[in-house]
Chains A and B, each alone.
Chain A
Amino acid sequence: MLASMHLRIYTAKLVRTMNPSFPTANAVAVADGQIVEVGTLESMQPWLDAHTHEIDETFADKVLMPGFIDPHLHPSLSAMLLPMHFITAMEWKLPDRTVPPTTTPEDYLAELQRIESEMATADEPLHTWGYHNLWHGEVNRQMLDAISTTRPIIVWQRSFHEIYVNTPGLDWSGLDLDRIASHPQVDLEEGRFSETGKNIAMAQMNAYLLAEDRFRLGLDLTAAAVHQGGQTTIGDLTGGLLDTDNEWDAMCAALDRPEVPFRVQMIPAGIRGTTGASGIEGGLALVKHRAERGTQRLFYRNNVKLFTDGGFYAQLMQVGGVGFIDGHHGEWLMPPELFEQLARMYWNAGYQIHVHCTGDLGVELALDTLAKLQWERPRFDHRFTIEHFGLSTPEQVRRIADLGAIVSANIYYVHELGEAYWAGSVGYERASQMARVGSLERHGVTTAYHSDFTMAPCQPLVSAWVAVNRVGESGAVMGAEERASIDAAMRAITIDAAYVLGMESEIGSISSGKKADFTVLDEDPYEVDPMRLKDINIWGTVFEGHKFPLATR
């Protein structure tokens, strides 16, 4: 700190510091992007006497919280999707639009028709994201041709496993239709491309989806969405998703600018570079190599991501015991032996390991592996993190606590999938207990909430609202015993999320010496009706001392 500095004092109706030793205040002194002192104008008088200062009363009737943190999302993925038209079963509040829920097949087609008719240029492709047959019924080429026989229409399923296109879409895609007609996961008659068939179609469309201008627009919309949610730090949890130099350059160009009010911790996937001559050691070399690059706003730390089981939205999680209602099986994203080898390598190299686990058997593999590693080479403060945490058992929560692991949960699963998975996946008992954050709180496990955007909206107050209320799509409570307290929920989007990213000494609470990152709210989350948490108006943020109001719409 400089011997002489100029202080800016933000006064507020209330400052929720999230520092339990000094929980509330109504003034924060800031200099050079750093918090100097928290308290009242009276208590900070010695600082005011010693330095020049100005008092900023912009927040006189607002509530300041530490800048919100989403420790797990994917900016490159949202950059591809946000320029698309959203038609979704849930409401989505996006920076440039609010998407109302569309929950029936009739409404889905009507909405698609409306979007088509309002598009300005006649041949511009219409990409729409969010389709899900549980709500929207069947879609096929003929139905899409009925909407337009001239404009390419490409329907992206919510979990990216399928796309549907109309006849102009087939032409526009540039696919060699004769060649791909024989592909078992391509149905040209229906206009349907699934799994690897979808990958072929997507590879062909990448030139469009990843075109410099479009990708930049998508990153700018992503940045706006992150700001809109009140976030000042995010984690890119396979940073970057595509892992190309072009992607890194595009992310730096879009996000490493003074106008962008947040920082991005990049966490690389530890599986890359592990095949071929160098073996798994190639993965460690690549992770080290990635960490050599970094800018002020995009940086790597000492973290790596691994995977156990398949996707939660795709119902490919590994489920123990009696499995799924329909008898299908989940999948392992890598053989358990390879997972253990990789985990051991990164563990012994001193990394914090984040493990994508969606089903209870995936969690079990992560915990069994952690137990072995602890036996072989005990570590304290290792922060082995269970990511997603869809299905689990109460017994596993106790083991998580005993082994010193922590959790970053996609709590939104409860809201969007709780009732859907009751009816069509694992039944009520297990579906109602997904993302069991109440148990984590009772066992004192450090827990963050994430969005995995666009798996969930990147709005931490929405995550907190789901955690505290656990209301499903219909409004019914799913798993009342697993509701979180308001304090646990607010910690999960501030100080505990900072802990998951290994940044708790720099961000996550409002206290002297930390970065001056604030989320500015109209109301106090601790005092509002819990069902209104997600509706609290966000004025904007302060990032490293600078005010970033949200544009009023």
Chain B
Amino acid sequence: MIPLTVIGGYLGAGKTTFINKMLTETSGQRIAVLVNDFGDLNIDVDLIADHDGETYELTNGCICCAIGDDLDETLRGITGSANPPDAVVIEASGVAEPDRVATYGGAWNGLELAKTIVVVDVETITQLASDKFVGGLVMRQIAAADSIHLSKLDLVDDQRLAHVTNWLADKTPRSVGA
């Protein structure tokens, strides 16, 4: 069984930066990452071994695919591959409920849900949480996380960070890290 990690978080939370780091700093694991859009992905050109518009192959053995319109086809390609990766990571869309993506991906034969990581922008999260359109969604995203990754720490001071950390501790029992 290949472990599956789902990366959730609202639009602009910093999912792509997190994934970039994951891809380039892996210690020997060959990870297949499924992203919504290559648009903001900024992979170091020295790391790219090959790319064909839909898939990037990295020199460290990782691959990165755009989900496009067909997550099924992409997952089928990976689980049916002769040389399957060590781990699969799916980036959920900014308006997706990560637990739905996790339930769905984890039900694939050959995949096993390992965890759901939700990326939280410390600068905007408390305001977003009370937004009348996406506040409920953002709180459900946080509730669905096995762990929370804080992003954009450089944009806030210590007082703000402490405030957000306390606020999150109040909302979820999950581990919070940066």
Contacts and interface: CB of A to CB of B under 8 A. Distances in A.
A336 B134 contact: yes
B109 interface: yes
Q: Which among A184, A196, A199, A334 has the greatest number of chain B C-beta atoms within 10 A?
A: A184
Given A275-B37, A331-B95, A182 B110 contact: yes
B104 A276 contact: no
B39 A184 contact: no
A51 interface: no
B80 interface: yes
A200 B39 CA distance: 26
Contacts of A182: 79, 108-110
Contact of B11 (A181, A200, A335, A365): A335
B13 to A, nearest CB: 11
A196 B137 CA distance: 22
B11 A320 contact: no
A179 interface: yes
Contacts of B169: none
Given A182-B108, A183-B72, A329-B136, A337 B80 contact: no
B169 to A, nearest CB: 25
Interface string B99-135: 0000110011110000000000000000000001110
Contacts of B72: 183, 196-197, 199-200
Nearest to B103: A184
Contact of B108 (A183, A279, A335): A183
Nearest to B96: A331
Interface residues of A, number: 27
A338 B104 contact: no
A300 to B, nearest CB: 24
Contacts of A200: 72
A364 interface: yes
Contacts of A196: 71-72
A361 interface: yes
Contacts of B94: 335
Interface of A is mostly: loop
B108 A332 contact: no
Interface in A322-341: 329, 331-332, 334-338
Contact of A276 (B39, B80, B95, B140): B39
B91 to A, nearest CB: 14
Interface string A168-200: 000000000001011111000000000011011
B132 A364 contact: yes
Contact of B95 (A179, A335, A361): A335
Interface in B52-80: 70-72, 76, 79-80
B82 to A, nearest CB: 15
A8 to B, nearest CB: 52
Nearest to A186: B72
A334 B11 CA distance: 10
A261 B108 CA distance: 51
Given A183-B72, A196-B71, A332 B95 contact: yes
B95 A320 contact: no
B110 A332 contact: no
Contact of B97 (A185, A199, A318, A329): A329
Contact of B133 (A183, A277, A329, A365): A365
A144 to B, nearest CB: 24
Nearest to B38: A276
A184 B107 contact: yes
Contacts of B133: 318, 332, 336, 361, 364-365
Nearest to B69: A199
A181 B136 contact: no
Contacts of A365: 133
Q: Which among A276, A329, A336 has the greatest number of chain B C-beta atoms within 10 A?
A: A336
Nearest to B36: A275
B69 to A, nearest CB: 9
A430 to B, nearest CB: 18
Contacts of B109: 181-182
Given A276-B39, A329-B136, A332-B134, A338 B11 contact: yes
Contacts of B134: 332, 335-336
Given A181-B109, A182-B110, A184-B104, A334 B71 contact: no
B108 A179 contact: no
A336 B11 CA distance: 10
A197 B75 CA distance: 13
A179 B140 contact: no
Given A276-B39, A335-B95, A179 B104 contact: no
Q: Which among B10, B12, B97, B132 has the greatest number of chain A C-beta atoms within 10 A?
A: B132
Interface in A40-93: none
A196 B74 CA distance: 13
19 contacts: A182-B79, A183-B72, A184-B104, A184-B107, A184-B108, A185-B104, A200-B72, A276-B39, A277-B39, A318-B133, A329-B97, A329-B137, A329-B140, A331-B95, A335-B10, A335-B11, A335-B95, A337-B11, A364-B133
Interface of B: 10-12, 37, 39, 70-72, 76, 79-80, 94-95, 97, 103-104, 107-110, 132-134, 136-137, 140
Q: Which 3 A-B pairs have the closest CB atoms?
A: A182-B109, A184-B107, A335-B11
Given A183-B72, A331-B95, A332-B137, 4 more contacts: A184-B104, A184-B108, A335-B10, A335-B11
